[in-house]
Amino acid sequence: MKNKPILFIDSGIGGLLYCREFLKNNPKEEVCYLADNENFPYGTKTKDELCEILVSLIGRTAAQIDPKIVVLACNTAAISALETLRVSFPNIPFVGTVPAIKPAAAASKNKKIGILGTARTIEDPYNQKLAGESGNQCEITAVAAPDLVNFVEERYEKSNDEEKTLIVKKYIGIFRAQGADTLVLGCTHFLYLLDIFHREASADIKVFDSLDGIKKRVEFLLDENSGALRSENSSDPVHRLLLTGKIPEDSLWYIHAKKLNFKLIQI
């Protein structure tokens, strides 16, 4: 078990940031990143559709790479299918990325929080449940931003700071008009623009994300039971970027794989 890979999954590039953050402090762990390019984007699909897609995808992938932990590095996937996956694969520990609503609600002074995500994520009643668990009953302004998901996936590498700032300012303006004093970035794609969100939110809106929390949760699973799942690799592991569907020769995935030094494999 120790030297098996950790599998991170998203429909696009959002979860790559979670891989990168995790590997900073855990360089001996082997990572496989599965980008479900064929079914991008997840945010437009129903809960039942996502459960069917992810059970099938993880079943096929697990049979090939036998992961010791699976990280759903996608809020939409985690909110929709996490419990189903845990039942379907009882011998695999799953970590689900969900919107950081509890800390945002707890920190809100005027009890007004904003959530930015995909349509599938913001429509789920699980968000209200998370807000209630904070002990601070808050009014939620939830906004779907499919254009922002597509922008990060398709335009981020080509765009300049001005273009990135304009699209972020549009959404900050919506939440500011509603009086929100905390904002949850409920899609992993949005973290590519995290610095701009912090800058544009300024002093009146505090921005929350789940990046550090997911890293710590995976590390906790590795370290429990006296480090039973910690890798014993004596050399640097080879990381893999697994892609579903056809990948054109000019795909940005080649750029992402090179930046992270991941071996790109189409499955």
pLDDT, tens digit, 9 for 90 and up, residues 77-106: 999 999 999 999 999 999 999 999 999 999
Asked whether 127 and 154 are in contact (CB, 8 A), the reply is no
Give catalytic residue positions.
74, 187
What CATH number is associated with residue 65?
3.40.50.1860
According to the model, what pLDDT value does residue 73 have?
98
Based on the fold, state whether residues 52 and 74 are members of the same structural domain.
yes
The answer to whether residue 1 is domain-embedded is: no
Helices and strands (H, E) in the chain, number of each type:
11, 10
pTM for the whole structure = 0.95
pLDDT at 135: 62
Domain enclosing residue 190, as ranges: 101-208
Domain boundary among 187, 208, 229: 208
In a shared domain, residues 108 and 139: yes
Q: Which parts of the chain sit beneath pLDDT 70?
A: 1, 134-135
Domain identity same for 114 and 77:
no
> Beta strands of the chain (E only): which ranges?
6-10, 31-35, 69-72, 94-96, 112-117, 139-144, 182-185, 206-208, 240-243, 263-266
